[in-house]
Chains A and B, each alone.
Chain A
Amino acid sequence: MDINPVFLLVTLIKIVAVIAWIYGLLRVVGHASKWVKIGGIIVAFLIVQLAISVPIGSSPILSNFDSGLLFQACTMTMVALGLNLIYGFNGQFSLGQWGFYGIGAYAAADITYRWDNYDAAGLLVAGLGVVLVGLVILMLNRILSRMRGIPVLSAFTLYLIGVIVAGAVALFIGAAIGQALTPLFGTEEAPGFLASALMAQVVFFLAVLIAGVFAAEVSFLFGLPVLTLGSDYFGIATLGFSIVINTLMVNSDTILPFPEMKGGRGMVGIPKVTNWFWAFLFLLLVIIVMRNIVHSSTGRAVMSVREDETASKAMGINVANYKLLSFVVGSLFAGIGGGVYAHYIGFLSPGTFDFLVGFNPLIIIVFGGLGSMTGTIVASFGWIFFLEGLLRVILGQMGTEAPTWRFVLYPITLLLMMLLRPQGLLGTVEWGFLRQREVKPRSREESNTVPVSIGAAPAAK
């Protein structure tokens, strides 16, 4: 395959079209009228759905490969948005996002894999466990918040004990109910109600949610003590976390009791349930939740922690709580993204969650502009299409060495980007829905203050 100028042009057009689609989507979601909003979302969904499914000539506009890129871009957007909440908006330099992504992917994949093999216990234990652990955390939070000056390690130990107890209870109850439900699956010849296609979709939806909440709970337990560290040390601890998670994945069949994950050989046989509907739904959910957090009083508190911890404390903001909040929500997004990804790709290997690959979300949010949601979304989509497009373009020239060449050109792009535009592609621009609603000043005198850009990137430190 030679370098084909038509192919190059088509790739560029696709990137531009995707970005235009994002712009349209964000404008439509931000529209004042409810009907335009709902209709616009449906239209935005249908445009891509038609491009994927309706063939024009021999193949649809978006080939299988392209729609795969689209799903990957959606999951990457979720992960990167979560990291942007943690680092871009809250200023906590985290390298552990990829670990939470991996946790989400493996957790969701395990649930649906077991369900696929007529084992309801996986879903029940995980679901019950997540709910019970969540309840225990909330309960302990109420108790512990009444005590002043409790050392963070003691709080951590109490939470840990509570979580272990809740997990054990969930394990026993969930496994018992799961056993009882097994007959409802029927046999291979006569599948029962639980083995139907509809249940597969429902279980997928539940599994992704459970995986997200599970990742969030892990991040709560991990973040509680570690978020007390200074910025660089926090980054290193989270990097360590993502390496520990990766090691656990490699040993999931020997050290952890999950033989179906097959350790370093990679988990196969995950049902490929993710389609454009699910990817779009979860993407939209994540974007809306993210936007509503950022443009609320919570979001302003989160950003004030980034600007100056001491000053925020003086204003009565509970710095530790807001750090933890953004960390947990960011990990929730990563977990959901992982669940969606696992069911698109159908195969998970620890190599996918290697810490070197884990720099990608960080690079994306810096590319898009720290503290810019639009930048993150555009950069995620652009990055996936650009890298894959680059691969195919070089493929003609370099043959089998193409993947390596891609990673030679990619850091050079990165270096040029950092040297020429260190504030990121879009800076602090936000599109449509993601923009801060303008607050009309009451009178001329009151509006005479210096305008403050809320979403601005952290100043040089």
Chain B
Amino acid sequence: MQQANTSKPSSFLARGSGARLAWIGKGFLIILALLALYILVKSFFANPQLFAQIVISGLQLGFVYALIALGYTMVYGIVRLINFAHGDVFMVGAFISFYAVARFRLHLWPAAAFPGMSSSLVVLIGSITVILLSMLVCAIMAVTIERVAYKPLRNAPRIAALITAIGVSFFLEFFGALNFVFSPRFIPYERPFEVVTWYISSGIHQVQAGTAPPSGAITFSNIAIIIMVASILMQLALQFLVRRTRIGKAMRATAFDKQAAQLMGINVDRIISITFAIGAAFAGLGGVLYAIAYPSIHSQLGILPGLKAFVAAVLGGIGSIPGAFVGALIMGQAESLTAGYISTPMRDAIAFTILILVLLVRPTGIFGEPEKEKA
């Protein structure tokens, strides 16, 4: 309300006194933050084991979001498009691995090719094959979408491309829901390897099938570790790609100024396709790992994780790769802690409220650069 008012200033509110009231807004935010902190500290001291358990499940979620968020942030950084179809690419990744495992038994191919191979090695190579296949299919699909739907609109108003992205997203969701594609039902996911759970109680023990871990012990599973390791590795690989290789340099140049990059001899179309492919491959990996961790899939699986990953990318500052990572971890924790301590059904609402509050304090996200003034 920076309205210039020429009327007589009232006695108790002199003109220009507004800036002195900054403490009200800050106080409001500080009270909210203190409230959240109080809930966290109180619950930590009430039951540290439970707290650790919730943090672990939040990390698992957060690292999956990080894998999806990378695709959002890269695409946005280069073509300034909110690629709503990205969450559905994630869903397709999960389904590809489902068909590879349940229909074609692809995860057992090393055993068929090399009889006598040790079973753990078979599982390792087989699972990696399945994951690589999903990543490849997702990458091809994303490049196809980009070529067919987004490329013709590169010089159209941005809203046209956005509506197209929404259209592609609807198409993938509802085409997938047809009976001869993925069917509209929930499908139990068959894992390429067994999920093993351990608990910590004077040392690390494995939870035997059919038994429950002792109450109060912190449990964690191999899939949680795999998700964290894979996500961190991918993050490092992407950082290396963007910072140290020629393609990465071209990507950064394209993101900075598309026309200038073109003048410097960079094939911008190819760089954009590569960006889409990398983002989609990460989403495919995320889809497989997500399905292994939460083994029930359906054709609209990608909507909410996709949206939350996108929010995570915005939270961290869209266009920034470390930002997407940090944002995703924050989203995972926010969701998990809300579900654990405040209310399970409200976790989406709290996550988005956090997003809005962070944007109010830092309008371009945690790692984002301030918006450039329009030329």
Report A's interface with B, CB cutoff 8 A: 93, 141, 143-158, 160, 225-226, 228-230, 232-233, 235-237, 239-241, 243-244, 247-248, 250-251, 254-255, 308-310, 318, 320-321, 355-356, 359, 362-363, 366, 370, 401, 404-405, 407-408, 410-412, 414-415, 418-419, 422, 457-461
Contacts and interface: CB of A to CB of B under 8 A. Distances in A.
Interface stretch (B10-18, B197-205, B284-292): B10-18
B371 interface: yes
Contacts of B163: 362-363, 366, 414, 418
Interface in B1-40: 1-5, 7, 9-10, 13, 15-19, 21-29
Given A244-B353, A308-B374, A157 B17 contact: no
A241 B17 CA distance: 32
A370 B7 CA distance: 39
Contact of B364 (A150, A155, A230, A240): A230
B99 interface: no
Given A240-B352, A363-B166, A154 B159 contact: no
Interface centre among A148, A370, A410 (most CB of B within 10 A): A148
Contacts of A412: 167, 171
B174 A407 contact: yes
15 contacts: A93-B159, A146-B9, A151-B21, A154-B26, A157-B27, A233-B314, A233-B363, A243-B352, A320-B2, A411-B167, A414-B170, A415-B149, A419-B152, A422-B157, A460-B158
Given A151-B19, A411-B167, A418 B373 contact: no
Given A370-B159, A411-B171, A411-B174, A418 B311 contact: no
B212 interface: no
A153 B356 contact: no
Contacts of B155: 460
Contacts of B27: 157
Contacts of A235: 82
Given A146-B15, A414-B167, A240 B363 contact: no
B2 A422 contact: no
A254 B346 CA distance: 11
Interface in B336-355: 343, 345-346, 348-349, 352-353, 355
A2 B68 CA distance: 44
A419 B1 CA distance: 41
Contacts of B311: 236, 240
Interface stretch (B119-127, B175-183, B218-226): B175-183
Contacts of A146: 5, 7, 9-10, 13, 15
A359 B73 CA distance: 22
A355 B170 CA distance: 13
Contacts of B15: 146-148
B11 to A, nearest CB: 11
Question: Chain B contact residues: over half helix, strand or loop, or mixed?
Answer: helix
Given A148-B2, A229-B363, A310-B373, A153 B29 contact: yes
Contacts, number: 209
Contacts of A321: 1, 3
Given A243-B349, A418-B163, A158 B24 contact: yes
Given A158-B24, A408-B175, A419-B152, A247 B348 contact: yes
Interface in B182-210: 184
B303 interface: yes
A144 B160 contact: no
Contacts of B310: 236
Nearest to A238: B356
B178 A404 contact: yes
Given A321-B3, A418-B156, A419-B164, 11 more contacts: A145-B1, A147-B16, A148-B18, A153-B29, A243-B307, A251-B345, A254-B345, A320-B2, A362-B166, A458-B157, A460-B157
A228 B18 CA distance: 17
A411 B170 contact: yes
Given A247-B348, A418-B167, A147 B21 contact: yes
Contacts of B156: 418, 422, 460
A232 B3 contact: no
A150 B26 contact: no
A412 B170 CA distance: 9
B79 interface: no
Contacts of B160: 366, 418, 422
Contact of B159 (A241, A356, A366): A366
B238 interface: no
B132 interface: no
B27 to A, nearest CB: 8
A226 B360 contact: yes
Contacts of A239: 307
Nearest to A93: B159
B91 interface: no
Nearest to A316: B4
B28 to A, nearest CB: 4
B153 interface: yes
Which 10 residue pairs of A and B lie closest in terms of their CB atoms, listed nearest first?
A153-B25, A150-B18, A147-B18, A240-B352, A154-B25, A407-B174, A414-B167, A247-B349, A154-B24, A411-B167
A410 B173 CA distance: 12
Nearest to A225: B360
Contacts of B18: 144, 147-151, 154
Nearest to A356: B303
